[in-house]
Structure 1
Amino acid sequence: MNIDRTLLEIIVCPDCHGRLDPVAEELVCTGCGLAYPVRDDIPVLLVDEARRSR
């Protein structure tokens, strides 16, 4: 996954507005635990596309 660090600092979880941490090929919310896929280095921040990581 090749997402710019500056972008990671400003995007948040669309569900709870928590911080997103890169884990494997996903961005995982530290607040609610939703894991958002990253496709072709583009974060897909749609709640319907996310899965529960916990």
Structure 2
Amino acid sequence: MAADGRDVRKANVDPKLLELLACPLTKGPLAWDPERGELISRVAKLAYPVRDGIPIMLPSEARTISADDVLPPAPPRLSGPS
């Protein structure tokens, strides 16, 4: 465990789960940061931790991130047939 309380083991999030999850504050999409094992809400500028493969989607548990910490813009999602 890191000094700041984060679990340093690399966690993974199922891509299908990532498609279903949304930021509880903005209802916007989340991006996976494999380096820190967090789900990033670019709009809310919050990083939600993933512990033992379980996303902790509580704003009180999220870390505020700066513009430097925000990942580069995500590629556009492809939409299926209407």
The answer to whether TM tops 0.5 is yes
Residue type at the aligned position of 1:40: D
Contact 2:38 2:47 in 1 (8 A): yes
Question: What TM-score comes out, normalization by structure 1 length?
Answer: 0.89
Alignment-derived partner of residue 22 in structure 1: 32
Measure, in 2, the Cα distance between the counterparts of 1:46 and 1:25.
15
Q: Percent identity?
A: 44
How many angstroms does 1:25 deviate by?
A: 1.0
Structure whose CA Rg is larger: 2
Q: Secondary structure at the match of 2:16?
A: helix
What is the RMSD of the two structures over their aligned residues, measured on CA atoms? 0.9
Question: What TM-score comes out, normalization by structure 2 length?
Answer: 0.61
Alignment-derived partner of residue 47 in structure 1: 59
How many angstroms does 1:19 deviate by?
A: 1.0
Listed as ranges, the gaps of 5+ residues in structure 2 are: 1-10, 67-82
Greater length-normalized contact order (CA 8 Å, ≥ 6 residues apart) = 1
Point out the structure with the larger strand share. 1
Query: How many residue pairs were aligned?
Result: 54
Describe the superposition over 1:3-51 as per-residue Cα deviations: whole angstroms up to 9, x where unpaired.
Answer: 1101100100001112111112110102111110000011000011011
Measure, in 2, the Cα distance between the counterparts of 1:6 and 1:43.
13
After TM superposition, what 4+ stretches of structure 1 lie above 3 angstroms from structure 2? none
